[in-house]
């Protein structure tokens, strides 16, 4: 048996470390053999080592620049590394060289979707389907496009058509389960998740399915099961999952915390980080007066945390990209007997039933002087209710834009009452968006003077506390308003798992939730917000 045959056989078995060793040996003995570099890239990528995989695929492509398969693999790795422009250039190159190759078109469509260029992806896939009607890979890709556009019924129809021919395709089943969950068909989604896991797909797909399944359980209000499975969010087989390099012993999820020197690591986006801070009082009670609690959190939250919990120690976290994965480390040494865990691990311990959320009071304290300063500024504006608005996330990639209404959909809100005094709370580059929101409405959207809405979270929290109401979609701003106990109207897509099957929004009991019927049409829910605003006192 040749060395090439050995590598191929080991790769087929899924023994990736062994496959890597054999492929490396092959690249040393035959450095101009493209298969050696290709196999090395595949083995490295399967182990989550995307930077090294990128280098291996790049070496293969230098040997055979016309090899579209290698270019496609390099593009896929580039997406994992966040190099979307490079991935787009590669997939465009492959698609132009192979205009009749459905696989090249699917790769291009997926990169466009990752960049939130949904309409471009739709055009690419639609054109290819005209030339290759019924091609299952293209039909599957068309389903992903429909999901990104919010056309969930169409997406399910397309996925089911492929499922009829490929009933054991784990990735297809994952896409179908995700779409069913978005549509609120939660029982069907769970069944499809189980079918995907039974199909025995690649480790990344299996990890993605396990995480999806946990959120579906939570959406059903099955908190005990859902939070237990929520550990899948940090599964190392997920490319986006962080790795933690923290000294001490990781908490096992069950051990008593009394007298512990506990370190909690913030995780995920800033909105989730703020929401999870509601656990801090529970954790302080758990460690008791002889224990200590140290928190690694976003530095922009330091003032709010120290004001509310002066006994909590704060430690900075350093995040570094290593082999395409975010690695989080603590910047300061800790006691050798410390226990540590990502803060989300404690949700199962302290939020295993909906009642535990309902008893949670506002848990962040804005600066009283800051609140008074903003009240004085608001008093200089025309009379009427002071309403903060925020309309999107700061991260609008990977299909996230479908979770937010178009700016034109805000028109009923902006025009429902002439005395409304709107305050822009949206962070990021917003000048053009503000102009579009108020165009032709007669409304004014005031910008808070001197406030950095992205960096000054202490000032932003004080402003939300001074307002009569904050209205918007889930992001750092609405989570901050909820955490300080400010009045909050939260607009959500259909079946948001974070609602935990509660009528409103359990993380912030004072919040009122407005839920859309679907992703493709926000007009009904935005009209509902406008109707409620018309009767708001002030």
C-alpha–C-alpha distance, residues 514 and 293, integer Å: 36
Which strands sit side by side in the sheet containing 313-315, from one edge to the other?
Answer: 249-250, 339-342, 261-265, 292-296, 313-315
Residues 415, 451, single domain; the answer is yes
Residues 383, 525, single domain; the answer is yes
Is residue 109 in a domain?
no
Q: pLDDT tens, 237-262?
A: 888 888 888 888 999 999 999 999 99
Angle ∠(398,402,407) on CA atoms, nearest 5:
125
Q: Which contiguous run of DSSP H or E holds residue 320?
A: strand 317-322
Residues 327, 400, single domain; the answer is no
Q: Out of 214, 238, 262, pick the residue that ends a domain.
A: 238
Count of structural domains within the chain: 3
Residues 413, 291, single domain; the answer is no
Is residue 137 in a domain?
no
Q: Out of 190, 205, 238, pick the residue that ends a domain.
A: 238
pLDDT attached to residue 1: 43
Residues 269, 325, single domain; the answer is yes
Is residue 102 in a domain?
no
Q: Which contiguous run of DSSP H or E holds residue 55?
A: helix 50-63
pLDDT attached to residue 145: 97
Cα–chain-centroid distance for residue 303? 26
pLDDT attached to residue 4: 59
Q: Angle, nearest 10°, between helix axes 84-97 and 68-80?
A: 160
Is residue 488 in a domain?
yes
Residues 381, 503, single domain; the answer is yes
C-alpha–C-alpha distance, residues 340 and 139, integer Å: 46
CATH number at residue 227: 1.25.40.10
- Residue showing tokens 């690695």: 327
Nearest CA to 156 out of 116, 132, 184, 127 is that of 184
- Residue showing tokens 């039909």: 139
C-alpha–C-alpha distance, residues 430 and 414, integer Å: 17
pLDDT attached to residue 163: 98
pLDDT attached to residue 356: 92
Q: Out of 210, 238, 266, pick the residue that ends a domain.
A: 238
C-alpha–C-alpha distance, residues 218 and 193, integer Å: 14
Residues 217, 343, single domain; the answer is no
List, in sequence order, the alpha helices (H) in 81-185. 84-97, 102-114, 118-131, 136-148, 152-163, 170-182
CATH number at residue 428: 3.40.50.2000
Q: pLDDT tens, 106-129?
A: 999 999 999 889 999 999 999 999
pLDDT attached to residue 238: 86
From residue 135, alpha-carbon distances to 101, 103, 142, 157, 328 in Å are: 11, 10, 10, 15, 43
Q: pLDDT tens, 428-484?
A: 888 999 999 999 898 999 999 999 999 999 999 999 999 999 999 999 999 999 999
The answer to whether 495 and 180 have CB atoms below 8 angstroms apart is: no
The answer to whether 304 and 321 have CB atoms below 8 angstroms apart is: no
Q: Which tokens hold the place of 47?
A: 């182990």
Q: Where are the beta strands (DSSP E) in 374-420?
A: 386-390
Q: Which tokens hold the place of 498?
A: 């974070």
Q: Angle, nearest 10°, between helix axes 476-483 and 457-466?
A: 60
Low-confidence ranges of the chain (pLDDT < 50): 1
Is residue 288 in a domain?
yes
Is residue 21 in a domain?
no
Burial class (CB within 10 angstroms; exposed 0-12, middle 13-18, buried 19+) of 2: exposed
Nearest CA to 280 out of 354, 232, 347, 366 is that of 347
Residues 230, 262, single domain; the answer is no
Residues 386, 523, single domain; the answer is yes
From residue 236, alpha-carbon distances to 265, 302, 341, 496 in Å are: 17, 29, 15, 25
The answer to whether 3 and 25 have CB atoms below 8 angstroms apart is: yes
pLDDT attached to residue 134: 93
Cα–chain-centroid distance for residue 175? 16
Is residue 54 in a domain?
no
C-alpha–C-alpha distance, residues 449 and 70, integer Å: 52
Residues 373, 231, single domain; the answer is no
List, in sequence order, the alpha helices (H) in 368-430. 368-379, 411-415
Q: Which tokens hold the place of 524?
A: 């009904």
The whole domain housing 335 covers: 243-352
Residues 320, 171, single domain; the answer is no
Phi, psi of 462 (to 5 degrees): -65, -40
Q: Residue 335 carries which DSSP code?
A: -
C-alpha–C-alpha distance, residues 146 and 153, integer Å: 9
C-alpha–C-alpha distance, residues 367 and 274, integer Å: 17
Is residue 130 in a domain?
no
pLDDT attached to residue 222: 97
pLDDT attached to residue 73: 86
Residues 445, 525, single domain; the answer is yes
pLDDT attached to residue 273: 94
């Amino acid at each position: 048996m040749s060395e090439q045959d050995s590598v191929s056989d080991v790769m087929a078995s899924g023994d990736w470390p062994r496959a890597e060793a054999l492929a490396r040996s092959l690249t040393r003995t035959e450095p101009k053999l493209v298969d050696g570099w290709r196999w090395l890239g595949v083995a490295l990528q399967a182990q989550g080592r995307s930077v090294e995989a990128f280098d291996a695929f790049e070496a293969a492509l230098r040997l055979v620049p016309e090899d579209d398969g290698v270019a496609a693999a390099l593009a896929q790795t580039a997406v994992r590394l966040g190099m979307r422009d490079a991935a787009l250039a590669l997939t465009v190159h492959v698609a132009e060289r192979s205009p009749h190759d459905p696989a090249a078109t699917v790769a291009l469509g997926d990169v466009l979707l990752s960049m939130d260029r949904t309409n471009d992806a739709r055009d690419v896939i639609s054109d290819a389907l005209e030339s290759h009607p019924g091609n299952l890979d293209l039909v599957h890709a068309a389903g992903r496009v429909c999901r990104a556009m919010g056309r969930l019924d169409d997406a399910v129809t397309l996925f089911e058509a492929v499922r009829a021919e490929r009933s054991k395709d784990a990735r297809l089943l994952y896409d179908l389960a995700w779409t069913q969950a978005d549509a609120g068909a939660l029982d069907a989604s769970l069944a499809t998740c189980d079918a995907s896991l039974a199909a025995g797909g690649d480790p990344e797909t299996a990890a993605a399915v396990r995480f999806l399944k946990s959120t579906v359980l939570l959406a059903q209000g099955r908190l005990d099961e859902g939070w237990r499975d929520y550990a899948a969010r940090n599964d190392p087989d997920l490319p986006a999952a962080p790795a933690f390099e923290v000294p001490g012993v990781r908490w096992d999820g069950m051990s008593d915390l009394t007298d512990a020197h506990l370190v909690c690591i913030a995780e995920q986006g800033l909105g989730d980080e703020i929401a999870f801070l509601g656990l801090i009082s529970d954790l302080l009670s758990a460690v008791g007066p002889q224990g200590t609690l140290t928190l690694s959190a976003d530095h922009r939250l330091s003032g709010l945390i120290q004001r509310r919990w002066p006994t909590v120690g704060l430690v900075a976290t350093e995040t570094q990209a290593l082999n395409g994965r975010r690695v989080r480390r603590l910047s300061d040494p800790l006691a050798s007997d410390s226990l540590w865990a990502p803060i989300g691990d404690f949700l199962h311990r302290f939020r295993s039933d909906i009642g535990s959320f309902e008893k949670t009071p506002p848990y962040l304290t804005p600066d009283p002087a800051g609140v008074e300063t903003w009240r004085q500024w608001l008093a200089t504006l025309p009379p009427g209710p002071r309403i903060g608005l925020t309309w999107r996330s700061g991260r609008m990639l990977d299909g996230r834009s479908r979770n937010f209404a178009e700016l034109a959909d805000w028109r009923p809100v902006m025009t429902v009452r002439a005395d409304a005094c709107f305050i822009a709370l949206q962070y990021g580059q917003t000048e053009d968006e503000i102009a579009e929101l108020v165009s032709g409405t007669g409304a004014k959207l005031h910008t808070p003077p001197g406030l950095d809405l992205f960096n000054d979270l202490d000032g932003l929290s004080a402003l939300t506390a001074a307002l009569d109401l904050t209205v918007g979609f889930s992001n750092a701003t609405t989570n901050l308003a909820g955490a300080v106990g400010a009045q909050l109207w939260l607009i959500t897509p259909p079946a948001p798992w974070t609602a935990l099957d509660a009528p409103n929004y359990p993380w912030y009991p004072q919040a009122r939730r407005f839920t859309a019927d679907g992703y493709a049409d926000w007009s009904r829910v935005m009209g509902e917000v406008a109707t409620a605003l018309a009767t708001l006192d002030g």
